[in-house]
Structure 1
Amino acid sequence: MDINNVDLLDLQTSHMKQDPSTIAMCKALNPVFKKLAREAKLAFIYGRIDQLDDDTLDELAWQFYVDFYSVDFPISVKRNLIKNAKKIHKLKGTPAAVEILLTSIFGNAVLKEWFEYDGDPFMFKVRIEVENNINLLLDKFEESINVVKNTRSHLEKIELYSVSRNTTYIASSLLSGEKVTTFPWSPKDLDSKGTLHIAIGNNGGIENTTIYPKKEVIK
């Protein structure tokens, strides 16, 4: 059933569908139910974060205690931070929390601790692929890290890679042909094998010889 286009008359029994009062009541209430169906979507908030406007996202950020948040962030960044807020709170103080936060704001991020690249103890570096809004968000970089990292670790180096993503269309064509020449077929050097039956007949008869002067017939 599509609640956005429900017809109350369709829900009645065959007998009630013939009742004039029921028909009139259904026609009167149909617009009311359709309006309720549209407004019911507004109660479904968390499952449609990607459809919410800036003002609603700002309220959700306050509700979820998003640690690093600004009303000036692009709407895509706001949505990412709100979606990952619970996970970041759960992992706060770990490299994973830093990676999730930076990925939510800037793009793909990878954190390496000092023992992974032979650095000084308690230091770490971050490699990040910035997809967009680099000028707007770059001044927030170190501040965002300090919100979720542990207190004993210190940022040593930032490796920034600017990434541009777009759709590339590639077209190709293929032209092929075939030339076929057909000659009259004249087979040569053919051997034919088989059995040939030849019938031979012999016809015998009587020969009469007459010697003149005729005296008698010699047989």
Structure 2
Amino acid sequence: MSKTIYNADYSECLPEALKKDPKMVALANATAAALLDTSGIIDNVLIYSRFDELPEELVDILAYDLHVDWYDYNYPLEAKRDLVKNSVKVHKKMGTKYAIETALGSLFPESEVEEWFQYEGEPGHFHIVLDVTNQRITADYAAIIRAVKLYKRLSAHMDELTYQGQIHGVIYTHAINLMLSKTKKLTKGGDNIGRIVIMEFKAQDSTAFDDMLAFVKQHPDFEKLEISYEPTLSLSGLEINLSRRRVINNGQEIELTVKEYDILCLLAANKGRVLTYEQIYDKVWGEISAGNEKDTVGFHIRNLRKKLCDTNSHFSIDSVREIGYRFNSQ
């Protein structure tokens, strides 16, 4: 059996000569008993490593000590724990979309902030989509507005608060599309020609569908064709594969850094709109800037222009003096 601080016999650590001295053995046993008593209460001073086990009274004290802004002693314990655990991250990023969503998410999971360019609003404005599906408290409009004001930056303005609820269910259907092809090689020229069969089966045609599948399995020379969809942002001579994070410019794949790719997607998704330095930095870096966002964003924009715009005249990333950048495409 392995020894730990909870069951160690410290008298075993004595040198052989002292183990024969009754007084030293008695002293070792007394010391061991006192140390074992101490080790038994160590858990009581461990706070952050066992936060989910702390009693509610200690959670309330920590909320006060950590200055958790949006906190109520009447909240459910689970909600209190989340608010306290997220408070440090929220305070580090006060004034950002992340801070608002994290704070709201502790009480209303899956809630979101929609920024102005997602709904064609005015720069610096945003919407709150409050998901009440798994809410931990009853939604109170005035309390939510107060909370949003605590975490948003002063220059941002909330246009709208929308309540959202989700209902999950399963819908069963037998309407199935099947595409089959069979190719035949010509004796001259070596080209392949083929026939493609596309069939649509309704709910009442399930027997016919099963019969067709059984037939196909007996003829391996039939090939089942599957059509997949990958979200792609297509512009003049430029394709951005969003699922694979690939950029094709004039038919050639371009290697971009993580930040360059994120900036390109943000600008291209808001084609024709001016995005400020602060908005780009906030969206791509997800943190409060230290006042150098113009230089930081500008460095990556210059690299994007060298990699993309210099070889493709169909689009451009234009500078708007002292404001930000705009993506233009023909």
**Distance in 2 separating the partners of 1:127 and 1:71:** 22
Specify the alignment match of 2:157 in structure 1. Answer: 153
Specify the alignment match of 1:67 in structure 2. Answer: 69
**Distance in 2 separating the partners of 1:159 and 1:16:** 75
Structure number with the bigger relative contact order (C-alpha 8 A, sep ≥ 6) is 1
State the aligned residue count: 162
Q: Spell out the pairing of 1:72-87 with structure 2 (5 A cutoff).
A: 72-87=74-89
**Distance in 2 separating the partners of 1:98 and 1:83:** 15
Specify the alignment match of 2:26 in structure 1. Answer: 24
Deviation of the 1:155 alpha carbon = 4.6
Percentage of pairs with the same residue:
28
Specify the alignment match of 1:123 in structure 2. Answer: 126
Specify the alignment match of 2:39 in structure 1. Answer: 37
Q: Spell out the pairing of 1:132-211 with structure 2 (5 A cutoff).
A: 132-133=135-136, 136-139=137-140, 140-151=143-154, 152-162=156-166
Q: CA separation of 1:17/1:154 partners in 2, compared to 1, >3 Å: closer, same or farther?
A: same
Q: Deviations over 1:170-204 (max 9, x none)?
A: xxxxxxxxxxxxxxxxxxxxxxxxxxxxxxxxxxx
SS of residue in 1 equivalent to 2:61? helix
Which deviates more from structure 2 when the two are superposed, residues 13-22 or residues 64-73? 13-22
Q: Report if the CA contact (8 A) 1:61-1:69 is conserved.
A: yes
* Aligned residue identity for 1:157: L
Q: CA separation of 1:102/1:12 partners in 2, compared to 1, >3 Å: closer, same or farther?
A: same
Q: Deviations over 1:116-139 (max 9, x none)?
A: 123455231325364253xx3412
- What are the ranges of 5 or more consecutive residues in structure 1 without an aligned counterpart? 165-219
Q: Deviations over 1:106-153 (max 9, x none)?
A: 2122211122123455231325364253xx341243332232122331
Please give the TM-score of this superposition, normalised by the length of structure 2: 0.44
Q: 1:99 aligns with which of 98, 101, 105?
A: 101
Deviation of the 1:163 alpha carbon = 7.4
SS of residue in 2 equivalent to 1:138? coil
* Aligned residue identity for 1:147: L
Deviation of the 1:99 alpha carbon = 0.7
Q: Report if the CA contact (8 A) 1:91-1:97 is conserved.
A: yes
What RMSD, in angstroms, separates the aligned Cα atoms of the two structures? Answer: 2.4
Larger-gyration structure (1/2): 1
Deviation of the 1:84 alpha carbon = 1.4
**Distance in 2 separating the partners of 1:77 and 1:7:** 43
* Aligned residue identity for 2:68: V
- What are the ranges of 5 or more consecutive residues in structure 2 without an aligned counterpart? 169-330
Deviation of the 1:8 alpha carbon = 1.4
* Aligned residue identity for 1:36: T
Q: Spell out structure 1 runs of 4+ moving beyond 4 A.
A: none
SS of residue in 2 equivalent to 1:103? helix
**Distance in 1 separating the partners of 2:11 and 2:115:** 67
Please give the TM-score of this superposition, normalised by the length of structure 1: 0.64
Q: Report if the CA contact (8 A) 2:70-2:147 is conserved.
A: yes
Q: 2:4 aligns with which of 2, 5, 10?
A: 2
* Aligned residue identity for 1:6: A
SS of residue in 1 equivalent to 2:69? coil
Q: Deviations over 1:84-115 (max 9, x none)?
A: 11111121111110011111222122211122
